[in-house]
Each structure stands twice: as structure tokens, then as C-alpha cells.
Amino acid sequence: MADLKGINLAMQTPFTASGAIDYATFEALIDKYVAAGVHGLVLGAGTGQHPYLTEAECNRLYETGAKRIGGKCNVICQTSALNMDEVIRRSQHAESIGANALMILPPYLEGPSDEDGIFSFYTEIDAAVGIDIVGYNIPQATGISVSPRLFDRLSGLKNFNYIKDSAGDLTVHQEYLQTKGGVLNGADPTTVYALMAGTRGVIWGAANYMPGEAVQLYELVAAKKFGEALALWQRMLPSLLYIWRAPYTQSVLKAAQWRGYGTGNIRKPLQPMSFEQEAGLRDALKPLFEPSA
């Protein structure tokens, strides 16, 4: 079982202005994020615009990323797809190039939503791979909620060892923590509270624009310096609340660009932020540029 504790940065996929993957910037970003001390990089995350990447692009991205990372931190690859054979094919490829874990959405978009159907879906994938599977609870996007009871059942599979919980419900999150599975927080505005509650780590999109602060927050909570952690959190929180309600990926990428991480470009069908949205984001980011008290 891979140890996915700490800050697993849900990494952006940098694009050129025309929408092509900028592999040179991708590799440079990996170096920056590793230097910031992140514990893992999630390649092809939602923040990395996975739905708008082809299978061939994902394969090349993961090959390039795993080689560049070179064991300096954990590599988690999203291998979600609608077609069952494609999920398995993507997953086996990611395993073959050195991924430590796979992040896989439940069978969304009119797939089985009952617990037995979801369990069967993950059981088939579990039998086809030999590395950790990170399930994904993001009902606001998939329409499927993974109940704590189902998560506990899934955790009995050989490789299903984690769930990324992006729902933002701290009650459910703490119920997950009562099971035998590993829990990773994925809801930006609840991060510090999930860490204090005992979650193993986070898969965090906002870490794209504040990797150093994200690592520092984790280290403060791990050292039980809760007062210092909450003081840092107050500087992070305005932007986290903003991006959670604004167009998420566009906001993260724009904030990252402004702070020296990436190009800020998106791929269609995503649309650029409006002038008003960018102004709101700039205002929300201001506390990060202020010296700590």
C-alpha cells in the first residue's frame, strides 16, 4: 500500500494559447512543485482538465511526468473513463510507467448508481491492477455519492485503499474516517479541519498556486501547532472560498499563473474568466501576499 499522506497536488496540465499541451512547462512545473515539498502529484486531475484530454495525451503526459518526478514524490494518475475496457487499459498503462496509485471516478453518466453496481465496477478494476486505487466521492459532478458503508465495503478489496472526498460534508468525511480505508480530503474549504480530524492527506487543486503554503499547513497540523495552522489558514481561506464558488479550474490556473506557476491557459470547452471574475480573484488572493503576523 502506497503512503499517500500529506499534500498530493492535483496538478494542472499547462496548455499553449492554441490549446496544445505544453510539455516543457509541464516538466518545469513538476520541478517547482517537488522543490516546494509536495508529497505527491496527481497527474490528469480534474484541475488538469482530464475530461478534455485524449487517452493518448494522458498516456504521454503520465509517461513524461513519472520520468521527471523520478521517485521524488508519489505519482497518482487519473484513469477514469466511461468505457470499462478503457478504464482498465488506462489503469494498466499508468501502472506500467510507475504510478503509485490510480484515481478513478465511479461509473458516472448513467452508469450504475446503486451500491452493488459501484462495487462491481471497482471490483473488476481491482482485479486488473496491482497498485492502489483511490476512489472518488464528488457527487456534485458525478451525481453519485459513495456512502461510508460502501467505502468500508470497497476497502475490503485488495487494492482499493483510499477515497478522495470532494463533497465538502465534514460529517460524511468523519464517517469515512471511522472505516478501515484511507481518506484524502478533496474539498478545498474544509482542508485544515479534515487534517485536524485525522485525514491521511489531501488531493488539492488550490495547491497549484500556493504549494509552499499547502505544505506548511500540513506540517503545522502534523506538529499539532494548531494556532499557527489556523493563522496561515486565514490567509489562504479567502481565495479558497472564492474558487469554490467561481469557475474552479479557470480560477486555479489564473491564480497559479499570477504566482508564477504555469500559463493560465485552458482547453475548450472551458471558457475564460470574465473581467469581473478575475478582479474578484485578485482581491481574494491579496492575503497570500501579505506578511504573516
Strand partners, 136: 164
What are the residues whose beta carbons fall under 8 Å from the beta carbon of 234, sequence distance 6 or more?
287
Q: What residue type is 42 in one-letter code?
A: V
155 C-beta neighbours (distance < 10 Å), count: 17
Q: DSSP assignment of 78-90, as one string? A: E---SSHHHHHHH
* b/e per residue 109-140 (b: at least 16 CB within 10 A): eebeeeeeebbebbeebbeebebbbbbbbbbe
Examine residue 287 and state whether it is found in any structural domain, yes or no.
Answer: no
CATH classification of the domain holding 19: 3.20.20.70
Judge whether 234 lies within some domain: no
Whether residue 269 has a cis bond before it, omega within 30° of 0: yes
**Does a structural domain hold residue 65?**
yes
Q: Is residue 259 part of a domain?
A: no
Q: pLDDT tens digits, the chain, 293 residues: what are they? A: 899 999 999 999 999 999 999 999 999 999 999 999 999 999 999 999 999 999 999 999 999 999 999 999 999 999 999 999 999 999 999 999 999 999 999 998 888 889 999 999 999 999 999 999 999 999 998 999 999 999 999 999 999 999 999 999 999 999 999 999 999 999 999 999 999 999 999 999 999 999 999 999 999 999 999 999 999 999 999 999 999 999 999 999 999 999 999 999 999 999 999 999 999 999 999 999 875 55
Total domains in the fold of the chain: 1
What does residue 38 show for φ and ψ, rounded to 5 degrees? Answer: -65, 150
User: Which range of residues forms the domain containing residue 119?
Assistant: 6-223
Helix axes 248-258, 275-289, angle to 10 degrees: 50
Relative orientation angle of helices 23-35 and 55-69, to the nearest 10 degrees:
40
